[in-house]
Structure 1
Amino acid sequence: MVFLFTYLLEASLGILLVFLFYKILMEDLTFFSLGRVTLLGLLSAAVLLPLFSFEFQWLGESAIRPINNSLNWMEGQVNSDSSTLENRSFNWVSILQLVYIIGLIYSISKLVIGLFKTWNLISKSQKLKTGDHVIVIHERFIPASFFNYILLPEYPEGNQEFNQILLHESVHIRKGHTWDVLFLQVIKSIFWFNPVIYALEKQLREIHEFQADQEVTNSYSPIAYSRLLLKQLSKDCGLQFMNNFNQFQTKKRIMMMNKSKSNAIQKNRFLLSIPLLALMIGLFSCDMAINQADLTGTWTGTDFQFEQSEGPDLSAMIEGGRALHEGGKLTLNEDGTMSITSGQGEMNGSGTYRFYTNGNILITTMDGGEETSYEVISLSEEELVTKHDVAMDTPMGKVAGTITLTYKR
């Protein structure tokens, strides 16, 4: 779950950057097709890049971003397995997990039910095949489009106003706008808690309308078409996947129709999406990576820090852990075997280890089968720093906290 929350946080930051980029640099431009492609591309990057990790070995020291803090081990003194952690009292992390899962299930259910209701209503409606699309007539519809369907409450064939509506909706169909809307609905289901994604959906739908309006006004009078927009003001039919004919600010659409075309120089603004993409890659996907070979060798414990978050003060026990660590040896061999000796030179355990670059997690498996995980905070030629959470039950009560271990090579 920690990885999930990290992903949601990073992707939400990316979504915010995309929204600000569009709002500041793109919203007033009339390059609607380019704006649509750029917005969708950057949004896709924002939600996908945090899932990937691109490793860079050319820097001497790694600044590692934390991925997994649910790691439980106190060297030579405190051991706690996953079952102990699961038995912890219900805390705020558990509450957040529950709230997110409930919201996710609700959003996905709403998405699936909405699709079913849309297809069901279409299946019960009158259909007329015209060219590359199908006109679907039902009294519940307002003028809208859904994939290759044009949805209408009625179809007075030959009516000039309906011909403009048909042209408008055919643009949505030809450009595949329903796929854009469906993509946004999926993203909204995952990031249901993020208000920015709702604002981005509004921006994308506006671009759709501007694109369709632009093509209609190439064939019909902008004045007559503006009157039609005002005449068609109506409520939404409640089907979230449709590009409704008049679902957004009529005033803004009319202003955009009469706006002077953006000049070619202004198109250079879209080039700024390249540094934004590079920024997101650097923020979310670039680890100053380490690999297993970087960890091999003998490390001497130099510092032991325990930040207690729960339980009574057990200073003597903490000092015992410090004595075991400081001056002790952690030996990681090339063949994947490992050993630990205490500060007094006594063997404290041996086994195997493996390292996961995606998250920079060092996992040790002792000869007795006990598996322990460490988050590698930083690594250089001379120093290794790890961090992990611990929890254990004592006669005086439960003790929990975070241990940071520092080693010198």
Structure 2
Amino acid sequence: MNAILIYLLKVIAIQAVFYLIYTLIFHKSGRHSINRFYLIFTLAIGFLIPFMSIPKFQSYEPYLEVDKPIWYELSDLAEFSNTEAELIPVERINQSDFTTELIVAGISLISLLFLMKLIYSHFELIRLKRQSKEISKNGHRIYCSQIESPFSYFKSIFIPKSLLDSTSFDTIMEHELVHVKKLHSIDRVLMEVILSIFWFNPLLYLFRNRLIETHEFQADAEVIALQQDPIAYQEILFQQINAQKVISSANYFKLNTIKTRIKMMNKNQKLSKWHYLFILPLMVFLIFSFSSREGEEFVAPLKNDVSDVFDYVVNLSDSYTPSIFPLKDAEGVKLTASFGKRIHPILQVERMHEGIDLKTYKGNPVLATADGIVVEAGIINEISWGKIIRISHNGIFETVYAHLSDIEVKSGDKVKRGDIIGKAGTTGESTGPHLHYEVKELNKGFLNPVDFINDFDFKRYTSIEKKDIIKLGKPNQKLKVVIDPGHGGRDQGIVSSNLSESEIALMVANQVFENFKSSDEVEITLTRDKDELLSLKDRVSKSEGADLFISLHMELHEDEEEEMMTAIYNYQSEHSAASQYFGELLSKEFEEINRKFKVGYTEGNYVLKNAMSPAVLYNIGYFSNSESERYLNSEKGMKEIAQELSDAIMASKY
């Protein structure tokens, strides 16, 4: 509905500019034939300019490539969700907007009534012909009847019987013959059809009046040029001043323009034809102001037939607004990364995620979510995006579909909403089959695609709901937790200005051990309690029989301002739900003391992948941030981290 409203407002604005220029400059120019063309052309072009596209002829800027830093240990980390919720599509039962449909139906009904009235007026003329006396005079068919005013309709001329033998008959005939020869009835009928459909556009009524006026100016000028007696002609006009019209699309000898017509007859000087060249810069200005903005897109040319033009003109609907789920098979699909800020999976930098990620199986058909033109299709950036499709939707919206396994369209193809354009896959920088989907409004930027999916809702499962389902440990038994201080021995990990990663991780782990040393509810086991190096296999073996496995690490960050903590779990593990649940509990504990925290997932990492219990990799901070480094190296910081970790462990049991 928004697209229709924007289109109509553009049309009215364009036509208002053209009408204003006509009234100020060309109205009384004396160039009636040119003015007739101007009115018809500008009326039509006003409807078409919003469909025009201005391509930006330059190469596309590729999507940002991401190189993996050599220090990055979790090379197969996937994408982080910026919410605590797992979103699952649920089919929406009530999809229709009753109010919108009612408004559209009301407008359409009124348009239909106006069209029926126009058709009825045509049959009125047929009936009038049958009731009239047909005569032939000077080779023309004339219909004489009991009408009040003479008029013409295409090749038919209707004359009141009272005028048949009057002295003004020949003059009136000459006037009506001009209407017939100049095909003015075609202009009138087309104008009435347009006005019947777009009856709510106030500019159309003004255009109609000016067009009728121009027809009369043109007929008056030719009759005066033929008879060379303007005074006698004006007297005949005054004789018809009380006549009334009855048919809307007919050309009447007398309309409510007598005064203006007489002034035009007595105007001697005509405006130079060169003044009409002003239309060219005006056209350029309006096209650049109101045409579609394609940005960096390729604009497909129209075909050599009228089908494309017809499609553009009649398809004035919301078909260009993305509105459906982009995958054909929604069963089992999960939204694994939301729109908004998140931790970048490779750089570990908080960045804007400009779309959503929908986890699905490889080969799930991908659908165009609105009508449009394919502007990119192929491998644009193999490392980051793999196979990608980008579609422009009438220069208003743009959608992107990335990591595809197959592409079934090519650049320049026109697609309809619901058309299959490709298949979901795992090409590019992806660790599992999914679809990355973006929606962009060219005037506003990237928008949340979830807000545009009208045929599905997303049911949210929060941590509170999971708490009723997931409980770590066994009833009436101690919760067995294994804490794994990362690195050790000759592998010190990242070294700060004071302590190393392995030293801080061990101190935090020992503090958690001390917190539960006398507990009857939680039993803590450390994979190492001194500075020694263990193999990954030995570390993971300690998870057997455990209820929870926590691996402690620190990181560096390219952004020195970053001080985020993260908890990562393996989403392909049989323990993924419990692992994610604990990560969320950990996030909640630290957010309560105003520490930034994100929960993410991976399908790799040896420890998380091979753990025999729910497991998380907990990054407790960044040495690259000076404040975070001081916090991690301080006794207060290590005790606070250990305490919040202990609180999360206790919360997981209840």
* Aligned counterparts, 1:147-166, within 5 A: 147-154=154-161, 157=164, 159-166=166-173
**Which deviates the most, 249-258 or 112-121?**
112-121
**Is this contact kept in 1: 2:377–2:390, CA < 8 A?**
no
**Residue matched to 1:234:** 242
1:132 Cα offset (Å): 5.8
**Residue matched to 1:17:** 17
Q: State how far apart, in whole Å, the 1-side matches of 2:147 and 2:248 are.
A: 14
1:269 Cα offset (Å): 2.3
**Is this contact kept in 2: 1:56–1:286, CA < 8 A?**
no
1:185 Cα offset (Å): 0.9
Q: State how far apart, in whole Å, the 2-side matches of 1:375 and 1:120 are.
A: 57
Quickly say closer, same or farther: Cα 1:387–1:234, change in 2 above 3 A.
farther
1:363 Cα offset (Å): 6.2
Specify the SS of the correspondent of 1:85.
Answer: coil
Q: State how far apart, in whole Å, the 2-side matches of 1:209 and 1:256 are.
A: 10
Q: Which has the higher helix share?
A: 1
Quickly say closer, same or farther: Cα 1:151–1:83, change in 2 above 3 A.
farther
Find out whether 1:77 has 2:114 as its counterpart.
no
1:57 Cα offset (Å): 2.7
Quickly say closer, same or farther: Cα 1:171–1:323, change in 2 above 3 A.
closer
**Is this contact kept in 1: 2:53–2:291, CA < 8 A?**
yes
1:103 Cα offset (Å): 2.5
Q: State how far apart, in whole Å, the 1-side matches of 2:282 and 2:379 are.
A: 42
Q: State how far apart, in whole Å, the 2-side matches of 1:245 and 1:275 are.
A: 37
Quickly say closer, same or farther: Cα 1:237–1:322, change in 2 above 3 A.
closer
TM-score (norm 2): 0.46
Specify the SS of the correspondent of 1:77.
Answer: strand
CA distances 1:20-57 after superposition (whole Å, capped 9, x unpaired): 11111111211111111122111111122323434333
**Residue matched to 1:258:** 266
**Is this contact kept in 1: 2:294–2:392, CA < 8 A?**
no
**Residue matched to 1:190:** 197
1:226 Cα offset (Å): 1.4
Q: State how far apart, in whole Å, the 2-side matches of 1:248 and 1:41 are.
A: 25
1:95 Cα offset (Å): 4.6
**Residue matched to 2:575:** none
Q: Which amino acid is the alignment partner of residue 41 of structure 2?
A: G
**Residue matched to 1:224:** 232
Q: What is the number of residues matched between the two proteins?
A: 342
**Residue matched to 2:284:** 278
Q: Which amino acid is the alignment partner of residue 12 of structure 1?
A: I
Q: Which amino acid is the alignment partner of residue 217 of structure 1?
A: I
Find out whether 1:376 has 2:440 as its counterpart.
yes
1:282 Cα offset (Å): 1.9
Q: State how far apart, in whole Å, the 1-side matches of 2:127 and 2:163 are.
A: 24
Q: State how far apart, in whole Å, the 2-side matches of 1:157 and 1:121 are.
A: 17
Quickly say closer, same or farther: Cα 1:196–1:156, change in 2 above 3 A.
closer
**Is this contact kept in 1: 2:150–2:158, CA < 8 A?**
yes
* Aligned counterparts, 1:7-46, within 5 A: 7-46=7-46
Q: State how far apart, in whole Å, the 2-side matches of 1:340 and 1:76 are.
A: 25
Structure 2 residue aligned with 1:334, among 341, 356, 378?
378
Q: State how far apart, in whole Å, the 2-side matches of 1:367 and 1:84 are.
A: 28
* Aligned counterparts, 1:89-128, within 5 A: 90-91=98-99, 93-128=100-135
Quickly say closer, same or farther: Cα 1:322–1:215, change in 2 above 3 A.
closer
Greater RCO structure (CA 8 Å; 6+ sep) = 1
Supply the RMSD in Å over aligned alpha carbons.
Answer: 4.1
Structure with max Cα Rg: 2
**Residue matched to 1:144:** 151
Find out whether 1:248 has 2:256 as its counterpart.
yes
Q: Which amino acid is the alignment partner of residue 107 of structure 2?
A: Y
1:207 Cα offset (Å): 0.7
Q: State how far apart, in whole Å, the 1-side matches of 2:118 and 2:55 are.
A: 37
Q: State how far apart, in whole Å, the 2-side matches of 1:354 and 1:82 are.
A: 27
Quickly say closer, same or farther: Cα 1:324–1:234, change in 2 above 3 A.
same
Structure 2 residue aligned with 1:356, among 392, 414, 432?
392
Quickly say closer, same or farther: Cα 1:352–1:268, change in 2 above 3 A.
closer
Q: State how far apart, in whole Å, the 1-side matches of 2:244 and 2:438 are.
A: 53
Q: State how far apart, in whole Å, the 2-side matches of 1:236 and 1:121 are.
A: 16
Specify the SS of the correspondent of 2:146.
Answer: coil
Q: State how far apart, in whole Å, the 2-side matches of 1:337 and 1:102 are.
A: 50
**Is this contact kept in 2: 1:8–1:191, CA < 8 A?**
no
**Residue matched to 2:175:** 168
**Residue matched to 1:178:** 185
Quickly say closer, same or farther: Cα 1:361–1:132, change in 2 above 3 A.
farther
Give ranges in structure 1 of 5+ residues lacking alignment.
Answer: 62-73, 294-319, 342-349, 396-409
Q: Which amino acid is the alignment partner of residue 391 of structure 2?
A: F
* Aligned counterparts, 1:60-75, within 5 A: none
Q: State how far apart, in whole Å, the 1-side matches of 2:123 and 2:400 are.
A: 46
Give ranges in structure 2 of 5+ residues lacking alignment.
Answer: 62-82, 300-336, 346-352, 358-375, 402-421, 426-433, 461-654
Quickly say closer, same or farther: Cα 1:276–1:183, change in 2 above 3 A.
farther
Quickly say closer, same or farther: Cα 1:98–1:220, change in 2 above 3 A.
same
**Is this contact kept in 1: 2:171–2:233, CA < 8 A?**
yes
Q: State how far apart, in whole Å, the 2-side matches of 1:387 and 1:393 are.
A: 13
**Residue matched to 1:287:** 293
Specify the SS of the correspondent of 2:238.
Answer: helix
**Is this contact kept in 2: 1:206–1:248, CA < 8 A?**
no
Quickly say closer, same or farther: Cα 1:372–1:159, change in 2 above 3 A.
farther
Quickly say closer, same or farther: Cα 1:124–1:372, change in 2 above 3 A.
farther
Q: Which amino acid is the alignment partner of residue 34 of structure 1?
A: I
Q: Which amino acid is the alignment partner of residue 153 of structure 1?
A: P
Q: State how far apart, in whole Å, the 1-side matches of 2:14 and 2:92 are.
A: 33
Quickly say closer, same or farther: Cα 1:166–1:13, change in 2 above 3 A.
same
Find out whether 1:385 has 2:451 as its counterpart.
no
**Residue matched to 2:55:** 55
**Is this contact kept in 1: 2:438–2:446, CA < 8 A?**
no
Q: State how far apart, in whole Å, the 1-side matches of 2:92 and 2:231 are.
A: 69
**Which deviates the most, 160-169 or 276-285?**
276-285
